[in-house]
Structure 1
Amino acid sequence: MTFEPRIIPRDQHSISRKQFSRAALDVLYGLHKAGFQAYLVGGCLRDILSGRDPKDFDVATDATPEQVNRIFKRSRIIGRRFQIVHVRFGREVIEVSTFRAMNTDDNPDKQQHHAHEETGLVLRDNTWGSIEEDALRRDFTINALYYNIADFTLHDFVGSVDDIDDRIIHLIGDPQQRYREDPVRMLRAARFAAKLDFDIAADTADPIPDMAELLLQVPPARLFDEVLKLFLSGHARQSYEQLQQLGLFAFLFPETQRALQGEQGAIWESMLLAAMDNTDARLARNKPVTPAFIYAVLLWPVIQSRLPRYLSSGLPPAQALHKAATQALNQQVKHTAIPRRFSTVMREMWELQLRLDKRAGKRADALMEHPRFRAAYDFLLLREQAGEIDPGLGDWWTRYQEQDEPGRRDMIGQLGNQGGGGKNGNRRRRRRRPRRQPDQ
């Protein structure tokens, strides 16, 4: 892939400084004033040119991380594999990276700070270079545009503008080599296609199914972050469809994939897609979402596939569910990490599924006081909607929450009349034996 570098003057492109955040401008002008090159780069420019509001602003410069750190008081150098600087302005963080050099075998001076495993995976990449080199070592053409704050020109080294106009995703360089350097690029291709509604070029997409297993080399903590970007950014369903089409989902959630291919696969996929649609809808309304919920849905088919074995061994349902959940979580964290603060919430949601049908007496009110009740109730509705369980219980809880106190008491009373209230709701009370009097 060879292109003639193209510098587009201000009067020939539509990008304006008015579209940048105040923090981004402060960083750009701060670097420029200190005598360094300063460019806005990547996704924010892509989003502006494709008609979207930019959210994150990244800056590229010829200043080293140490020099950037000295210019801005509220900044810190982060990363080991890939050193960058975070400059904080209140709640906004501007990410500043130094121009990286190309990793070329014929340039030993630029090899000294690169580290590779035998597989080709890049372990460290902190060799500084020129803006042209920096553009060529970025992942996709659509992310390789540079806006120069010195003269407001747009610098296009790899045909970025054309690909944005054509709504197509091209990897820069040899796809197999670039995926070996960083297998997460395969996930990024899927995510950008989902987010932007762009097509992935054939030469970029074709190697992915055969190379998807390279994701097993990536640390689970990093893959957890990538999953959040895929499923908690407002385009979850589209991301899922891209992951399945490219053969990537099975390497993120292998046991879930097996369940999806089983007898109840259609039910599980229906439940999963409904959860993703609900998540996207909440994000569209600026409502909070948590990774615990989407992960709870993703692993529920795994738990259900393990549950019969424990139940058949004679364990009570609660204990059987606990063991199945423990095994599901232990297997999943080998692929994507799940921080304890989320796995604890997931367990509570799962365990409440066994308790939501036990509503007699004061149990319903006690359940509503549980901190995970709302999430467990939403989870129950998804199970009914997908056809995993018969409908009815979800509607009862919906009506119960809408009732005043007398109405709730009436609903509880009707449970007793109907022989409902859970498995124990109509149990006959045993007569107590007289307590034996102690010897005097």
Structure 2
Amino acid sequence: MIKNTIRTFVSRLFAAPVQKDKRRIYSQEQHKIDRRLVSRNAIKVCEVLQQKGYDAFIVGGAVRDLVLGYEPKDFDVATNATPEEIRPLFRRARIIGRRFQLVHVVFGQEIIETSTFRAPSQGNQHTDADGRILNDNVFGTQQEDAARRDFTLNALYYDPVREIVIDYHNGVADLKNHLVRMIGDPETRFREDPVRMLRAVRFASKLNGTIEPATQAPIHQLAGLIKNVPDSRLFDETLKLLTCGNAIVALEQLRKEGLHENVLPLIDQVLRQPGGEQFVQLTLERTDHRVRSGKSVSPSFLFAALLWRLVDVNWKKNLARKEHTVPALSQAADLVIDTHISKMAIQRRHTADMREIWFMQPRFERRIPKQIWRMTEQPRFRAACDFLQLRAACNEFDSVLAQWWMDLADATPGERTEMIDGLTAEQQAAGPASPPRKRRKRRSNASSKSRTTGGGNTTGNASSGSPAAS
């Protein structure tokens, strides 16, 4: 830590002056960022650091979204203060990270990730055999920090106090032109962190733009490096791709670049299943609609939908072998999850929810009041109803019945009671769909003995098997 502090001090003292043609400063009238879209906590972090004599800016995807007029989901701050200098300034702050040390400043449910300006790679960082950086805690100046960021549209610095944007790499222009351009040599930067290839696809898809030719050129050749990415990071990036608001385009780009084999390796297998392409297309279209409408997307629901065709095919095979409905579905789900879950880097905490969504599907086929009430108490009832709508849209389930279940999910408690009571009346008027199953009455050993000897209270009706006795 002492070395890092000295390195930062020397960098500040002897850093070359920023060339005017390398840096552009945009005023509020030029960048048009609406300060009301900025987190008050992010502004607070910048204000506290600046009051203590440090530089502090909102950076990364938040600035990108703000320039485009979107409200960011989370905010990051970059400063010339070191982690040890940042932490004492806030009541709830902790230093995290090994490869990339930073500070989490906690405000209730919101975390403002605060990092120190980094120097770009000098070729002496600890890397693996493929060039991926394993340790990156060399601090530097703001200009150096901008040079080490991945894409020009992410190398923007927004000062919420002075309301200016600082741009070192023509990122504002690239952002307005919907162009994704790597800072530095693309092949070297992709080797440093292979996830950047996925980020390039995501940004281009989200902006409905293009990847700059020189940036795109090495992706296909280096696509195999994705397998070296830790599962947790791969899952996060995959989820961001599928929830970027333009997932269909992102998926097409992944396949074009050969990245899907290490990110969504099962997608080709799913698309080959009967109705697979239609189900995936509809799933992603509805996901895109929710994202564009500002609604949340459940990872469990999304991956349950993407894997459903594989589960359904195996379910039907098990039914053809005369397996009962629920065990047949359970076996199919186990097979898909055990065989394929690790290939998609899906974290196991989501598999329980996926199973619940799948296992509720057969229960929608019968509307028995007591069972309906039990179903409405399940945590994933609404998600299962949404899933049923997908199946109905693909002609797997009766659309009228699927809408009844969705209306029930949207109903108030009083409306639910009316719907289920009304359903009960309909059933009584129409008669049962199938004959009631006879249940044998259990008898005690003493009763059985009495019947055998002809004693006790056994009557002729009981021995004749009449409905009264059953």
What TM-score do you get using the length of structure 2 for normalisation?
Answer: 0.78
Match of 1:231 in 2: 242
Q: In the TM superposition, what are the counterparts of 1:302-341 in structure 2 within 5 Å? A: 302-308=310-316, 310-311=318-319, 315-341=323-349
Deviation readout 1:294-347 (Å, 9 max, x if unpaired):
111011122234335544555433223222212322344423444444211211
1:13 aligns with: 30
Ranges in structure 1 where 5+ consecutive residues have no aligned partner: 106-110, 421-425
Q: Which residue of 2 aligns with 1:28?
A: 46
1:261-304 Cα deviation digits (max 9, x unpaired): x152xx22322333334344445555554221111101112223
Contact 1:360–1:416 under 8 Å retained in 2? no
1:176 paired residue number = 187
Alignment match of 1:65 (pick from 76, 80, 83) = 83
Among residues 437, 446, 457, which one is paired with 1:429 in the alignment? 437
8 Å contact kept, 1:38–1:149? no
| Post-superposition CA distance 1:26-46 (Å, at most 9, x none) | 222322232322233222332
- Per-residue CA shift, 1:249-268, capped at 9, x if unaligned? 342232233121x152xx22
Partner of 2:461: none
Aligned: 1:132 with 2:147:
no
Give the whole-Å Cα distance in 2 for the aligned partners of 1:282 and 1:124: 38
1:42 aligns with 2:57: no
Q: Does 1:412 align with 2:430?
A: no
Q: Distance in 2 between matches of 1:270 and 1:429?
A: 40
Aligned mates of 1:415, 1:242 — CA distance in 2? 54
Secondary structure class of the residue paired with 2:71: coil
Q: CA deviation at 1:17?
A: 8.2
CA 1:302–1:162 in structure 2 vs 1: closer, same or farther (change >3 Å)?
same
* 1:81 partner SS: coil
Distance in 1 between residues matched to 2:426 and 2:215, nearest whole Å: 59
Q: Shift of residue 356 of structure 1?
A: 1.8
Aligned residues of 2:59 and 2:158 also touching (Cα < 8 A)? yes
Which residue identity lines up with residue 407 of structure 1 in the other structure? Answer: G
How many Å apart are 1:350 and its aligned residue? Answer: 0.7
Equivalent in the alignment of 1:209: 220
Q: Deviations over 1:93-140 (max 9, x none)?
A: 2221111122123xxxxx2xx321101122221111222221111111
Q: What is the deviation of 1:382?
A: 0.6
Q: Which residue of 1 aligns with 2:462?
A: none
The answer to whether the 8 A contact 1:259-1:305 is kept is no
1:275 and 2:286 correspond: no
How many residue pairs match? The answer is 421
CA distance in 1 between counterparts of 2:64 and 2:376 reads 46
Give the match for residue 154 of structure 2.
143
Q: Of the two structures, which has the highest relative contact order with CA contacts closer than 8 Å and spacing of 6 or more? A: 1
**Partner residue of 1:76?**
94
From 358, 361, 386, the equivalent of 2:394 is 386
**Quick one: distance in 2 between partners of 1:134 and 1:61?**
10
Match of residue 366, structure 2, among 358, 373, 379: 358
Contact in 2 for aligned 1:223/1:335 (Cα 8 Å)? no
> 8 Å contact 2:282–2:390 — kept in the other structure?
yes
Deviations 1:401-431 (A, max 9, x none): 77534421134347756xx4xxxxx256358
Structure of higher CA gyration radius: 2
- The residue aligned with 2:355 is 347
* Residues 371/134 of structure 1: CA separation in 2 closer, same or farther (3 Å cut): closer
User: CA 1:102 to 1:315, structure 2 compared with 1: closer, same or farther past 3 Å?
Assistant: same
Name the CA distance, whole Å, in 1 between partners of 2:160 and 2:365.
Answer: 62
